[in-house]
Structure 1
Amino acid sequence: MFLKKKINECIILSILLAQVSWGATFIINHWIHTVQNNLWQNPDNWSQGRVPVYYNDGETKYDIVYINSTPSSSQGCVIEDGNNIAYSIYISRNGESNEPAVLTMNGGYLEVKGWEMKLGYDDANASRGIFNLNDGTVNISGTGGVCIGYGLESQAEININAGIFRTQKLYVSFTGSNAYGRLNLNGGMFFVGLGNYFFVNQPGRIDIYQGMLVINGNVESYVQNLVQANLITAYNGTGTINVTYNEAANQTVVSASPDIIIDFSIEKGSAINRAAGFLHSISPNAPDANLVNVLKPKIFRLSATRGYGDTGNAFENYQRVHNVIGADIQIVLSDGFRDTVGGWPGDNSNWIAWEDYVRGIVNDAKDGNYIFQWDIWNEANTETFWNPDGTATEKRERFFEAWKRAWLIIKSINPEAEIVGPSNSWYQELSNRWFTVEEFLSFAKGNDVLPDILTWHTWNENTIIPDTTQARNFMAANGFNIDRIVINEYGGIAQHVLPGTCVWYFANVQDANVYGVRACTLDPEGCSTCWNVSLTGLLTYPEQQPRSTWWTYKSYAEITGTLVEVMGNDNINGLAAKDADAYSVLSRPQVKILLGKRAGVTEDEFVLLTGLENSSYLKDDSGYIRLKVEHIPNSGWDALPAPVSVSDTLIRFANSINVLVPDFGPADAYIITITNPKIYKVDMNNLSIFISHWLDDNSDQQGCNDYPVGDLDYNCKVNFVDLSLLSLYWF
């Protein structure tokens, strides 16, 4: 070992021949780590028997610090605080050892005053060196600057997690070395004093997260070229690099933005799961309540058909849907007419059958005190659902007359009744469509038969916001306004079982300030998800097991409190909310985020949570939060037992937090939850209230022997014999 150290010292001296030729003597102070601690400031850890110093009288120059011993911990040699100095620092260990040389700085000040800092210095066996800056200030004032990756095929990296690093020159992967050098700006600031001595060569890279790179001079064009060549990246290639030249300071500033930013300082109103609507697919007894109620449905669109079974029927499901769940019911009159009467309203210019049918259904509702929203006809703009004899114009005029007659009958029987329509397939005009929503609105306004709620269908998540905007602009420009809009069928056939795309619909429905109803389709066996009590395909049939889409809707329902801004990209969108309703026996503060990916490739994604300054209720007394990441993989038509736990850790609270979302697939969803890890014990004075609420939520479940630890388990009930011992551990 002694001989090997001497050889390494000789290598350093030989490499410095250019300097020695000036007639100077250089003294190496070698990190030998002979004591229990690994502190830089312990003299027993150095070959010279003293902590490194700086000396230069022109004849003698020291200390040349050489760190290459096996680190006793991942931090290697550690600088904790104080003022520290050296002539040069070389961090490099022979690659045969498979252990890099490491210098870590947790605080204080470090200056390299004479010449340089080099990492991965040796040519032999792909040497390795790492410098970590966790806090403090580094000043490389020597004229040699910093080189990350110098020796042939060496591997070297500088990780800036916080603090400030200054150097006059920076070389990442020295020219011709084929060294892999990497500067990771996870935080903090890295300053380069001379822009004409800023070089990044293949295969090296600078990767920026929340840190910032500042280079003196206008090198904006050069930096942009490095970005184009993927030599400077953001968030490991998943984010965006921002390059600006500050003329006043004569500095080029390089920063990064992740593709997904959630800004908790921008509030967007109360979290209401507006897209939790379902088309038919429910009966008075199925699916089970614990598979339905937890989704917090807002609307069910059900059939007026009577005598054809209870699945999807508005009357048969009224008690469950309206009285128990508390959801609105849109009753589709056209379903019952085609099933029970046949033909088309106005056949042979005879409107009696249609008027009698409408009058009978509305009177039944009035006599039974049923409260419905009346949907007169489904997709009457298409030949699939409205195709009486005649030309396209005649078909359109026939429907308008059917609408007018139904509207007048409904309002005459119940003036307070709410009518929805026209429930077109698409908002915009397409081929084989008899009329557009705007044409319908013009007719309805001219005949004083406007709907109370404007409805249409869409099969593309991208159309919701522009179509809604156009509808509101059209109504405003024509002197009338319908303040409620429901997309009362959404979701294309190919999207039906894709959790990632579901999240896109959720987000766009929320942003458009409308409500939404999930559409039906045919499953692989050819069975309609409208009529197999599967909650429009969220559950397998007949087993009624949750698919990945069910877990996505459940997570959507768990977003409570105040919505905040989510800035996604072309492939990823989502919703996020903060809920400070914290310190009671029945609730706790949380941040809940649901992200969905609709296209692209499977890769790691980074999410920046920012603007958390006013969310300190999330941290415990020690300043920690609980960060939980769960994956909802696309299970297609198959069941998914539960979301996959990816990580569940305690981290330090900060105003901005980076979250890694690994292996995000193109149809997957992810859940990010932040809670206060503090232990909450039940207030025994309010225990009866707690039990009452908890039993209400778990009334269909049987007992179990375990106390509830973590989130209240929906699938079991506590053993009430031992309730006096009950304590709830959120962590």
Structure 2
Amino acid sequence: MQDYYCSIKKIFFNGVLLLSVLFAGCNSDESEIEEAQVVIDFSTPVTNVKSMSGFLHGIGPDRPSDSLLTPLAPKLLRSGTRFFESYQRKKALFNDAKQILVISGLWYHGPGKGFSVMPFDDYNVYENFLIDVAAQTKGEVIYDVWNEPDVGFVWTGTKEQFYECFKFTTEVLRRELGSKAVISAPSTHWIPEWIEGFAEYCEKERIAPDIFSFHELYETESPTSVREHLQHLRYDVINKKPFLQSNIKEIQVNEYGYQGSQHTPAMILGYLYNLEKGEADGACRACWREDGLSSCWNGTIGGLLTYGDLEPRAAWWTHKLYTESTNNRVFSQGNVPYVSNFAYISNNTPKIVIANSNSKKSINHFQIKIEGLQSVTTIPKDSVLVKFMSIPNTNTLPNSGLEILSEGYYKIHNDMLNINIDNIHSLANYVLEINPSN
């Protein structure tokens, strides 16, 4: 069967189902923690959930089909080099999504001549270029000044020259567009000297982007690092600089995800969960080269679909599941940062998403404590049928979505239900669906 489990055991003990999951080919070097817990209350709605659904490139003027895009409901779409090819299509499909225009992408195919010319080589040419961009877009997009100026072949100047370019770009666009000019920067990798150096420059010069942006792309044991970086940026950098605190409106991670784990459901859920917990205002999944082809430009939504046939992969189903979870979300709280957890109600059916988003740690005993089921009109007071499902980790192969692993009947006591799962290995994912028992 799937490559991430080999057998399921159902054991009833005092009315509680213990689901023991034994993995085939698991990493014997995994470290273990004894216990972890999630508490869920279906009677406590969570309002104003900020969806982290968003994508870098990956959507063409006619590929993929609308039916593969609309279930993902992205809130942030970032593009540059081919921005205008799909701009109108994205605008029509997702009228509540914000579109980010990466200025350096247009410059690359225009006056920049493949980055052989930099803005600081002739600011008169660059100014005329910016005036044209402003006239074309009319302030309807977010203006991302430069993509990854910390990378040498993308920005051939110094950090100080980038700071100067940021200031020049911001002043020209705000002059041309007034309050419609929403500026994003610096869009570097998470490199403290770049992030903090840029913040110090902005505070000193009293000029700030509307959106402070960065990229989270490095290999990591667990995506909890993005939460830590977001919190450090907000509370230790921005909030300690009065001018920035007053003028920066959002923090976005406009590229996230390590290439080696981009197709793994548990890692995807881990990034989305920690982006939420880190209080990001928006995020975009990165795109990469695979087998000599770029998933940025082939209509696969950054690798969510197979090449050629455009069939959903596990990653597509995972993003669809996450988007579904952002509607009718209810309270859930875990005690281990890398255990991603979302609880929500879909069509009067309570659902719970759990993922061990750590690539090196397993959990011996995991407890889900559920309250407030009586607030869901379809759920009886005495017992329920719980289905345990999972998205198979099929990597780049086509995938048909959730598969049922097991199901069992549970007694509800005083509107409370406990579920215990034993031996959750690294990168396991579960979806629990709670149904009437009759």
**Fold conserved (TM > 0.5)?**
yes
Select which of 552, 560, 585 maps to 2:318: 552
Q: How big is the shift at 1:513?
A: 1.4
Structure 1 Cα separation of the partners of residues 424 and 434 of structure 2 = 19
Query: Where do residues 114-133 of structure 1 align in structure 2 (5 Å cutoff)?
Result: none
CA deviation string 1:271-328 (max 9, x = no partner): 636321100010122111121110111111011x3xxxxxxx3323222222322311
CA contact (8 A) 1:333 1:377 kept: yes
Quote the residue 1:292 is aligned against: 69
Task: Specify whether residues 634 and 345 from structure 1 end up closer, same or farther in structure 2 by C-alpha distance, changes over 3 A only.
Answer: same
Structure 2 Cα separation of the partners of residues 268 and 477 of structure 1 = 33
Select which of 349, 356, 363 maps to 2:128: 356
CA contact (8 A) 1:271 1:561 kept: no
CA contact (8 A) 2:39 2:369 kept: yes
- Corresponding residue SS for 1:381: coil
CA RMSD for the aligned pairs? 3.0
Q: How big is the shift at 1:344?
A: 3.5
CA contact (8 A) 1:597 1:664 kept: no
CA deviation string 1:617-652 (max 9, x = no partner): 3513x6343422211121111121222112345533
Select which of 380, 388, 400 maps to 2:149: 380
Quote the residue 2:295 is aligned against: 529
- Corresponding residue SS for 1:379: coil
CA contact (8 A) 1:590 1:676 kept: no
Quote the residue 1:414 is aligned against: 177
Structure 1 Cα separation of the partners of residues 344 and 49 of structure 2 = 13
Larger Rg: 1
**Structure 1-normalised TM-score?**
0.51
Query: Where do residues 18-417 of structure 1 align in structure 2 (5 Å cutoff)?
Result: 161=14, 240=34, 258-264=35-41, 269-270=46-47, 272=49, 274-303=51-80, 305=81, 313-326=82-95, 327-341=97-111, 342=113, 343-348=116-121, 350-366=122-138, 371-388=140-157, 395-415=158-178, 416-417=180-181
Q: How big is the shift at 1:419?
A: 0.8
> Does 1:593 pair with 2:353?
yes
CA deviation string 1:350-406 (max 9, x = no partner): 21221111111111112xxx6100001001122142113xxxxxx112111211111
Which AA in structure 2 matches 1:529? S
CA contact (8 A) 1:576 1:594 kept: yes
CA deviation string 1:140-175 (max 9, x = no partner): xxxxxxxxxxxxxxxxxxx9727xxxxxxxxxxxxx
Task: Specify whether residues 411 and 626 from structure 1 end up closer, same or farther in structure 2 by C-alpha distance, changes over 3 A only.
Answer: farther
CA contact (8 A) 2:355 2:427 kept: no
Quote the residue 1:61 is aligned against: none
**Structure 2-normalised TM-score?**
0.82
Task: Specify whether residues 268 and 353 from structure 1 end up closer, same or farther in structure 2 by C-alpha distance, changes over 3 A only.
Answer: farther
Structure 2 Cα separation of the partners of residues 452 and 521 of structure 1 = 28
Task: Specify whether residues 534 and 160 from structure 1 end up closer, same or farther in structure 2 by C-alpha distance, changes over 3 A only.
Answer: closer
Select which of 612, 634, 644 maps to 2:372: 612
Select which of 407, 410, 415 maps to 1:651: 410
Quote the residue 1:423 is aligned against: 187
Q: How big is the shift at 1:442?
A: 2.1
Q: How big is the shift at 1:266?
A: 9.9
Task: Specify whether residues 548 and 346 from structure 1 end up closer, same or farther in structure 2 by C-alpha distance, changes over 3 A only.
Answer: closer
Q: Which has the higher helix share?
A: 2
Sequence identity (%): 22
Structure 2 Cα separation of the partners of residues 383 and 600 of structure 1 = 33
CA deviation string 1:492-538 (max 9, x = no partner): 12111111111110110111111211111121x12111111111111
Which AA in structure 2 matches 1:263? I
Quote the residue 2:232 is aligned against: 470
- Corresponding residue SS for 1:361: helix
Task: Specify whether residues 279 and 595 from structure 1 end up closer, same or farther in structure 2 by C-alpha distance, changes over 3 A only.
Answer: same
CA contact (8 A) 1:271 1:562 kept: no
Task: Specify whether residues 364 and 483 from structure 1 end up closer, same or farther in structure 2 by C-alpha distance, changes over 3 A only.
Answer: closer
CA contact (8 A) 2:120 2:165 kept: no
- Count how many residue pairs are aligned between Structure 1 and Structure 2: 399
Which AA in structure 1 matches 2:301? L
Deviates further, 652-661 or 508-517: 652-661
> Does 1:450 pair with 2:219?
no
- Corresponding residue SS for 2:83: coil
Structure 2's unaligned 5+ residue stretches are: 1-11, 21-31
CA contact (8 A) 2:145 2:185 kept: yes
CA contact (8 A) 1:283 1:317 kept: yes
Quote the residue 2:5 is aligned against: none
- Corresponding residue SS for 2:100: strand
Structure 2 Cα separation of the partners of residues 592 and 268 of structure 1 = 14
- Corresponding residue SS for 2:276: helix
Quote the residue 1:499 is aligned against: 265
Quote the residue 2:28 is aligned against: none
Task: Specify whether residues 543 and 616 from structure 1 end up closer, same or farther in structure 2 by C-alpha distance, changes over 3 A only.
Answer: closer
- Corresponding residue SS for 2:201: helix
Deviates further, 501-510 or 655-664: 655-664
- Corresponding residue SS for 2:63: coil
Structure 2 Cα separation of the partners of residues 662 and 543 of structure 1 = 39
Deviates further, 593-602 or 556-565: 593-602
Q: How big is the shift at 1:568?
A: 5.2
CA contact (8 A) 1:301 1:517 kept: yes
Structure 1 Cα separation of the partners of residues 364 and 403 of structure 2 = 16
CA contact (8 A) 1:566 1:574 kept: no
State the structure with bigger RCO (CA 8 A, min sep 6), 1 or 2: 2
Task: Specify whether residues 404 and 544 from structure 1 end up closer, same or farther in structure 2 by C-alpha distance, changes over 3 A only.
Answer: same
Structure 2 Cα separation of the partners of residues 384 and 666 of structure 1 = 37
Q: How big is the shift at 1:555?
A: 0.9
CA contact (8 A) 1:589 1:675 kept: yes
